[in-house]
Amino acid sequence: MKTNTNIESTLHEFRLPAYNEIPDVGLYLEQVAKFINSYFIEFPEMQVTPSMISNYAKQKLFDRVNKKTYTRNQISILLFIVCAKTVLSIENIRLALHDFHEGNDTMEELYQYCSESLMSTLSSFYHHEQNEQSETSILHDDKHPMLNNIITAVAHKMYLERYFASLKK
């Protein structure tokens, strides 16, 4: 079926930047929005505006912005927020972020885990024969049960948005 092929292709091509690919030179608000949106071109419901980013900052979802520039850690949190806002309220995102900060993982470790888990979950929609070791190591990590559930919900939402968009064409 052509629809499934298009959806699978879109999901297969989706990538979040690796943590070290996120600029750490201090991007301004407009640059941050442009950077984030460049990863969500095929997912318009996940696009973010500068005013949305400002609101997330005002709601203290991440550390205070220094000299109007955003750091790598702040951008990685924004990438998580952009994904999670499709399935969670802002208050629940705040609780999740607080829970993440309570753990022993660094922001880099959490971001990489989140990114890899999302890619792995999305790949399950087009790779029906999964490598058990990969699935176990990424998707069933007992250390991050809440994050696993958020990522699973985000991946399913991304799939369903593409599915219904294809029906409208």
Q: Is 89 helix (H, G, I), strand (E, B) or coil?
A: coil
pLDDT at 5: 82
Summarize the confidence of residues 111-126 as an average pLDDT. Answer: 92
CB 123 within 8 A of CB 14: no
pLDDT at 135: 46
* pTM metric for this prediction: 0.89
CB 151 within 8 A of CB 118: yes
pLDDT class for 15, splitting at 50, 70, 90?
Answer: very high
E strand or H helix at 28, and its extent? strand 27-28
CB 159 within 8 A of CB 11: yes
pLDDT in tens, 147-164: 999 999 999 999 999 999
